């Protein structure tokens, strides 16, 4: 355990709760009214990256209590153990050393006794040679044509992260190769992709560490049959590569060893986009783009590792979340990137945060005494403003928001970018300021409304305000910045897991449904009936009848 005594830690949680229970503790507007310099004092920078957390109800006393809680929870010791390669994933006996995937070969990061930095660099060099051969035409399809598209077949961390990054970094210029992603085992998904792809110019990556993931292997079999039907069985070896550690299974599928790229068990799936699982990113955007992504993440790693807590962006972002979840009882968190290129950013964070910290068991096996991960959701602005922002502005639940915005755009339409930025700033301001009944009535009367109209409509136009948000502002969304942003949230997750006393690096909750699905599948294929609850048995029977 990294924390001080349980009694000391309970005292810190009690202190935090007492601060949240003070009269007016949720009133952000009062904090601004009493502190003209609040926006400066509650903003933290790393180069061009600014985290503004002033639009929260954290005052000086709450801030000090949060940092006190972090220290009592042993965050600094945990951070040292994490970067020291300790087995922080206690239930699986593993380190969590995804940082080695983006650091230099001589970074000296260890995972247990393994030279994680050296191993990651060696596999990265193999990936770089493969990408260069594809891009320069040394490696071609079986018909002799150059590859023009890459299809990544994976699910979970083998899909969400790479898809989010590749689409973000190639949306503006199209990249070097077109990148496509297949995750859902629903056959409609592959049917739609197959209509858009030319088998002669498509390179297929099968991303599964074990090469046994049910959905991924079903989709890989479909892609294999599609390609073999068009080009012949011999085409499989020329058109497939594997992102896996199971060389025997990949070979049985028809993929040669030199086309199998692996990663170690100290890389969790939701942290794997930096590894061989990110091969589609490098193929789509070019190696220099992929390297810049890694460099950005490594810059955030070094910041998190070396910076005192009070100036540490992942620590601050994590503590803001703890204040909202544990002190104020907010159970959801919205992610609003005001950038269309980040349209899958919230989806990636859903897995990163909820798979990591959606836990109710402490590291010692006991039950947690606090709430843990909130529900994560989001969409890009300004789309979100015309969907769920109604709930965030006027709903009965308070939902904190993270706004993300680049100061510079890459599309050349400065007017459009100013409109985008104006909306981001205005939404955050509206959440803070709200609009009172008196303001609404004055506006309506100034517009000519009579007393009856004012009485009928005014209550519906009141905004309560005092809805918290943070804003992450940066110069431009390039690969380096995206690497920093993703690593920022990765380390935020680790910070919160440490404070909650849970293991952020396992995901046992994913397993039960997968195990049960195997048995149900055998029944749907005509096997003997199993024992189910009444609802499941009835639904399966009705499914069979409708077939």
For residue 260, what are the β-bridge partners? 242
Residue 470: how many other CB atoms lie within 10 Å: 23
Alpha-carbon span 197 to 180, nearest angstrom: 9
Residue 105: how many other CB atoms lie within 10 Å: 15
Does the CA dihedral 6-10-11-13 come out positive or negative?
A: positive
Going by C-alpha positions, the residue among 335, 332, 316 that lies closest to residue 324 is 332
Residue tagged 């594997």 (tokens): 242
CB 444 within 8 A of CB 458: yes
- Catalytic residue of the set 411, 511, 514, 522: 514
- Catalytic residue of the set 12, 215, 355, 490: 355
Residue 40: how many other CB atoms lie within 10 Å: 10
Tokens at residue 188, please?
């409609």
Going by C-alpha positions, the residue among 52, 29, 26, 24 that lies closest to residue 435 is 29
Alpha-carbon span 297 to 440, nearest angstrom: 46
CB 263 within 8 A of CB 209: yes
Alpha-carbon span 227 to 236, nearest angstrom: 7
For residue 471, what are the β-bridge partners? 52, 403
Give Cα separations from 500 to 370, 401, 487, 488, 494 (angstroms). Answer: 7, 21, 20, 19, 10
355 in active site: yes
CB 493 within 8 A of CB 356: yes
Helix (H/G/I), strand (E/B), else coil: 4:
coil
Residue 227: which H helix or E strand, with range?
helix 214-231
167 in active site: no
Residue 182: which H helix or E strand, with range?
strand 178-182
The torsion of the CA quartet 299, 305, 309, 313, rounded to 10 degrees, works out to 30
- Catalytic residue of the set 258, 386, 411, 522: 386
Residue 38: how many other CB atoms lie within 10 Å: 16
Catalytic residues, by residue number, are 355, 386, 514
């Amino acid at each position: 355990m990294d924390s001080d005594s349980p009694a000391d830690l309970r005292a810190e949680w009690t202190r935090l709760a007492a601060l949240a229970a003070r009269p007016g503790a949720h009133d952000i507007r009062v904090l601004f009214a009493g502190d003209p310099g609040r926006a400066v004092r509650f903003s933290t920078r790393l180069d061009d990256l600014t985290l503004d957390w002033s639009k929260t109800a954290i005052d000086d006393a709450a801030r000090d209590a949060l940092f006190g809680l972090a220290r009592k929870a042993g965050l600094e010791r945990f951070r040292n153990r994490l970067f020291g390669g300790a087995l922080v994933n206690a239930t699986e006996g593993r380190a969590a050393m995804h940082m080695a995937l983006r650091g230099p070969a001589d970074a000296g990061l260890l995972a247990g006794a393994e030279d994680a930095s050296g191993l990651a660099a060696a596999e990265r060099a193999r990936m770089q040679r493969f990408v260069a051969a594809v891009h320069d035409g040394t490696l071609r399809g079986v018909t002799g044509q150059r590859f023009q598209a890459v299809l990544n077949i994976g699910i979970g961390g083998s899909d969400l992260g790479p898809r989010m990054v590749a689409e973000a970094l190639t949306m503006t210029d199209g990249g070097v190769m077109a990148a496509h992603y297949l995750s859902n085992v629903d056959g409609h998904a592959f049917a739609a992709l197959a209509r858009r792809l030319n088998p002669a110019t498509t390179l297929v990556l099968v991303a599964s560490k074990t090469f046994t993931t049910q959905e991924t292997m079903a989709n890989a079999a479909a892609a294999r049959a599609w390609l073999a039907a068009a080009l012949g069985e011999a085409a499989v070896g020329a058109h497939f590569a594997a992102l896996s550690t199971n060389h025997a299974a990949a070979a049985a599928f028809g993929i040669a060893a030199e086309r199998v790229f692996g990663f170690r068990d100290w890389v969790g799936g939701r942290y794997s986009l930096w590894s061989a699982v990110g091969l589609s990113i490098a193929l789509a955007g070019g190696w220099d783009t992929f390297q810049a992504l890694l460099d950005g993440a490594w810059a955030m790693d070094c910041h998190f590792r070396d910076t005192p807590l009070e100036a540490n962006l992942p620590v601050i972002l994590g503590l803001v979340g703890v204040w909202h979840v544990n002190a104020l009882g907010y159970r959801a968190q919205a992610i609003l990137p005001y950038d269309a290129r980040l349209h899958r950013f919230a989806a990636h964070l859903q897995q990163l945060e909820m798979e990591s910290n959606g836990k109710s068991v402490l590291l010692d096996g006991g039950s947690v005494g606090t709430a843990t991960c909130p529900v994560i959701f989001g969409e890009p602005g300004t789309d979100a403003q015309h969907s769920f922002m109604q709930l965030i502005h006027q709903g009965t639940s308070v939902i904190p928001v993270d706004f993300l915005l680049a100061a510079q755009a890459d599309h050349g339409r400065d007017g459009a970018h100013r409109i985008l930025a104006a909306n981001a700033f205005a939404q955050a301001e509206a959440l803070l300021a709200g609009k009172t009944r008196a303001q609404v009535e004055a506006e309506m009367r100034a517009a000519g409304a009579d007393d009856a109209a004012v009485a009928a409509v005014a209550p519906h136009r009141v905004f309560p305000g005092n809805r918290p948000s943070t804003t992450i502002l940066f110069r431009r969304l390039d690969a380096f910045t995206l690497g920093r942003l993703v690593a920022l949230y990765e380390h935020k997750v680790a910070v919160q897991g440490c404070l909650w006393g849970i293991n952020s690096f396992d995901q046992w909750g994913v397993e039960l449904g997968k195990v049960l699905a195997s048995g149900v599948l055998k029944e749907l294929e005509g096997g003997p009936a199993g024992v189910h609850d009444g609802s499941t048995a009835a639904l399966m029977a009705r499914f069979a009848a409708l077939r």
